[in-house]
Structure 1
């Protein structure tokens, strides 16, 4: 296996159809070896708080904004408070069906956010994100 390959990625999204599609693409293109899936921000935050070990932390997070329990905005707020404890560089991408400029600007203004992707995410975009680390 390529040593620069992404080992673990994480999807935080309550849209099962979208999650299923992204999982299939990641698997078919062999973009990472392990994938964490959470249906809301609270589930993922609990995971991050309980797993600060470097090898249990994903290198990439795809975060939806509109979810029940804890939405993407609340997750971003909490994540910025704990990300230094995780001792790993994590690239976080907001993935949303919202094209509202205020959402895009708000997400991009967060120091934790790498970029804002509009659903549906294209295969080429995913490949570019995953392969950036290999460069």
Structure 2
């Protein structure tokens, strides 16, 4: 399912800028929103009806100040109902080559996959179109 909205959650402005560029160059009709921590991301999701923003892809860093990716996932799980969660795909994006992070993400019921930074434009296109599945099968 192609997303109508992509929520980039990363405290690294350069990563957000680059990923926003990739997304907009792939499909200019996708609304790309950035947040620098999990708290900002939750605020965006709470302030916007999933029916209005349509299917949403969240690309989530795990290491951030204020509220990290793991805390975001816990809050997301507790705050939103199943219908909302069905419209959201969450991908973990991390700069750490950590087996612990990959294993934790793989075992989390809300996480679709985990991806190493930096994303390339080709990987981003596969992610948007739902064809990126290599990370969790490793």
Same fold (TM over 0.5): yes
What does residue 104 of structure 2 align with? 106
Runs of 4+ in structure 1 displaced over 4 angstroms? none
* Equivalent residues of 2:62, 2:68 under 8 A apart: yes
What does residue 65 of structure 1 align with? 62
Q: Distance in 1 between matches of 2:54 and 2:34?
A: 13
Q: 1:105 to 1:77 in 2, by over 3 A?
A: same
Which of these residues, 78, 82, 99, is aligned with residue 81 of structure 1? 78
Q: Distance in 2 between matches of 1:20 and 1:105?
A: 28
Unmatched 5+ stretches in structure 1: none
Q: Deviations over 1:34-74 (max 9, x none)?
A: 01111110011122223334223652000001111000110
Structure-1-length-normalised TM-score: 0.85
RMSD of aligned residue pairs (Cα, Å): 2.0
Structure-2-length-normalised TM-score: 0.84
What does residue 128 of structure 2 align with? 130
